[in-house]
Structure 1
Amino acid sequence: MFIAALVLLGVAPSAQAQWPDRPVRIIVPFVPGGSSDILARLVGAGLQQRLGQPVIVDNRGGANGLLGMGAAAQAPADGYTLVIGHIGTHAISPLIVATPSFETVRDFTTVALLARASSVLVVPPSSAVTDVPSLVQRARTAPQRLSYGSPGVGSPSHVAVVLMGRLAGFEAEHVPYRGNGAALTDLMNGTLDFMFAGPAEVAEPVQAGRLRAIATSGAQRAATSPQLPTVGEAGVSGFEISVWHVLSARASTPAPIVARLRTETAAVLASDAIRERLQTLGLEPGGMDAAATDAFIAAEIAKWRRLVQEARIQAD
């Protein structure tokens, strides 16, 4: 029966028994240097040791991650091509284009929820804004709209402000950049008024006094910055967005290969070295099994579809 099932799946039993017998590729739908790229290299190094084959990180940046995700969706469903993405690539970016080249739930299955993080709401140190209420008040009453940066339309940094503005009753001027690094530089220089960014991106400038952190974006206070209130706790009721990072395979990848990938990735994530490295990046371990993550991603897509439609967010 097992052999017959493998034949029906179009994969010979011997091929599965030998998997992997060549390098495995992890597509990162962004340029090098961001959290997804760092996670791919950390997890890839661990998988390389456990699988006994090279694991190659393939950066395919562009279109808010849609180019890399599209390439992963078109790859053979044989376990040799994986993709690491996040809330933007898997849940939001496909919703803001007219004809996406993939559907997350249809085309991908979860190998592992790698990590989650709350974004940090930051302002220039010279700003009169000291907390969320003063930011909301200023955004509502300033003669000109306050400005904020992000890596692009549909990015977590962008939709976080759209959601906050809708809940708190203000609009702000979005200034898209090629990456958060350039936006944060302008924020430190006072060109921008505020923005959301990843904890690893803002940790050093906040400690050095070049930025002021006033809140985090999750449902609970972040373990990496428990002194900061959440945006919801600070008065914007209903606000919550966490940036989750996920390793995915093609949905039609044979079950034994997916099971092996899940087992080996779980072992990599359980190592003390990986967990310590995640902590230094401001990331919390995923803490959810693959099946539950698939359901979670489907729920996230539905949640953000409502915001995209109501706010009429469209790709440039």
Structure 2
Amino acid sequence: MKILIVKLSSLGDVVHAMPAVQDILRARPEAQIDWVVERGFAPLVQRCQGVHRIIASDLRRWRKKPFSAETRRAWRAFKAELQQEQYDAVIDLQGLTKSALVAWLARLSPGGKRYGLANQTEGSSFEAPARWVAHRAITLPAHCHAVTRSRLLCAQVFDYPLPQALTYGLQATPGRHGAADGPWQTSVALVHGTSRADKQWPLAHWRALAQRLNDAGFGVALPHGSPAEEDVAQQIALNLPQAQVWPRLGLDKLTDALSACAGVIGVDSGLSHIAVALDLPHVQIYNFDTAWRTGSLPGFTRQCSVFAQPTPSVDAVWQAWLGVLPDTAVA
């Protein structure tokens, strides 16, 4: 059986789709699973156990210059790669017009079908073409965790009960992380960067938390993905003896680097979701009561979410961090 997953973006959404792949392979171990994803996230999907072929798209870039010669050439190449295989099932896990277009372009085997969402779930985007393209559009509960949404859809497509065990299948090699040398097994990565300003945690809070971590015997590792985030990382690290700003890393190397750490404390962002997928000790900071949709799920006892408005206090985050650690981890 050949299956095509369409989940293009964003980083957190891509991570949230990984358990559905593991569920399918548990129920259909003979399946060949290919995945269409935005090129920037392809290095992460390469780390997802069981994915046979990755088809990288550049839809975000192409729509900026849709009629340029370069875009037309790239689109033709993408379409040719997409249509190399015939699929028994094409599953649109995104539910947007762009993902519906990709699903519609994919070739089906004789008897093959396209599957997608029939409705919007709370807090997630949905556009009507996703329903129109599908041979079978599946209705899901309106109040549904982002991970559970993809898992439920695939369970209904292939008619298996939702497994109790949840695994992401995200593979990492801590010794090949590519960050600066250091004892990362005793360092905590602080994921302060997010694409939304209203999800950020105050700089003074980050500095106070970093100081507490140093005082407790932990180093502090500071990843970043833009010049603005690097500037914040430098400010957090200022005058702290055991804090290091990492160089800019690609997603594959960054995944390796995070996997080598003692844990992660971060805002609601893609990197925080990677930490959950790696089953690291992790505290996720929420300024909005949306942890039910994107936070840790039952069974992941080494992760927790902290919510308060306008933002959680340093004390609340610190106590949560102590709560996810093994008893022997604090000096």
TM-score (norm 2): 0.27
Higher relative contact order (CA 8 A, sep 6+): 1
TM-score (norm 1): 0.28
